[in-house]
A and B are shown apart, each in its own frame.
Chain A
Amino acid sequence: DAKTTQPNSMESNEEEPVHLPCNHSTISGTDYIHWYRQLPSQGPEYVIHGLTSNVNNRMASLAIAEDRKSSTLILHRATLRDAAVYYCILKTGANNLFFGTGTRLTVIP
C-alpha cells in the first residue's frame, strides 16, 4: 500500500487557517487521497477526498499538487472542535483505508 508522511503534531490559534501537509511520493495514478479525522473518544470522521483537482466541501478544502506527490488539507478557520488527529490516506480501488499515525492538531484558544 502506498504510504503517506505527515508531521506528528501541529498547533494553530483559534479562528486562524490551518494547513495540514501530507507527502505521498509513491502515489499511483488510480489512488484517491482521503482525509479523515478522529476526535478524542470517537471513531474517525470523513473529511474530504480527491483525485487530481482541488476539492472544497463544508468542512475543509483539499489542495493537491500538480504532480500529486503531496497534498494539503486546509481548515479555513480553526475552532476548538477541530482539535483531533488528522489522517491522510491513499485509497486504491476496492482496497481499504490503511491508517498511519496521523497529525495531532492542537487548537489554542
Chain B
Amino acid sequence: ETGVTQSPTHLIKTRGQQVTLRCSSQSGHNTVSWYQQALGQGPQFIFQYYREEENGRGNFPPRFSGLQFPNYSSELNVNALELDDSALYLCASSFETGSNYGYTFGSGTRLTVV
C-alpha cells in the first residue's frame, strides 16, 4: 500500500501571494488532517476533512482553507501569505476519525514566505 504523498516538497512564495498544497491520502483512508509545524515546535492542527466535509478546525484564520475530493485526496490553500506562514505543512490520513485509529503522515511541504 502507498503512504501519504505531498506536493510540492519545497516552495518559496512572496508575502501576499496565495499557495495551494496537495496531499494524496493512503489507500483506504477517508480522513485527512493538515498540520503546520514551525521550526523547533510540534505540529499544530489546522483542520480535518472527513468524507469531503470539514470535521474540525484548529486556531487558524479563515485565509487557511481546504478541500477534500471524492478520492479523499486533499488541498490546503493559504491566501494573503504572511512571513509567519513559513513552516513545514504536514498532511496526515487515517482510516476513520475515531481515536482507535493511527494517522499516517506525509513528509511535508516546506513553505518559505519572503
B2 within 8 A of A: no
Q: CB < 8 Å: which of A46, A87, A96 contacts B102?
A: A46
Contact with B along A35-62 (1 / 0, CB 8 A): 0100000111110010100000000000
Q: How far is the CB of B58 from chain A (nearest CB, A)?
A: 8
Q: CB < 8 Å: which of A32, A36, A98 contacts B100?
A: A32
Given A44-B43, A102-B42, A91-B104 contact (CB < 8 Å): no
Contact with A along B60-73 (1 / 0, CB 8 A): 00000000000000
> Chain A's interface: helix, strand, loop or mixed, by majority?
loop
A9 within 8 A of B: no
Whether A96 pairs with B45 at a CB distance below 8 angstroms is: yes
Whether B42 pairs with A99 at a CB distance below 8 angstroms is: yes
Whether A43 pairs with B99 at a CB distance below 8 angstroms is: no
B74 within 8 A of A: no
Contact with A along B70-114 (1 / 0, CB 8 A): 000000000000000000001010000111101111111000000
Tally A-B pairs: CB < 8 A: 64
Whether A43 pairs with B56 at a CB distance below 8 angstroms is: no
A92 to B101, CA, bound (A): 11
A34 to B92, CA, bound (A): 15
How many residues of chain A have a CB within 8 Å of chain B?
Answer: 26
Whether B105 pairs with A44 at a CB distance below 8 angstroms is: yes
Whether A97 pairs with B55 at a CB distance below 8 angstroms is: no
Whether B56 pairs with A34 at a CB distance below 8 angstroms is: no
Q: Which residue of A lies closest to B3 (CB)?
A: A43
A-B contact pairs, 20 of them (CB 8 A): A34-B99, A43-B90, A43-B92, A43-B107, A44-B92, A44-B105, A46-B105, A49-B100, A85-B42, A87-B42, A93-B97, A94-B56, A94-B98, A96-B33, A96-B58, A97-B33, A97-B43, A99-B35, A100-B42, A102-B42
Q: Which residues of B contact A (CB under 8 A)?
A: 4, 33, 35, 41-45, 48, 50, 55-56, 58, 90, 92, 97-100, 102-108
Q: Which residues of A contact B (CB under 8 A)?
A: 30-32, 34, 36, 42-46, 49, 51, 85, 87, 91-102
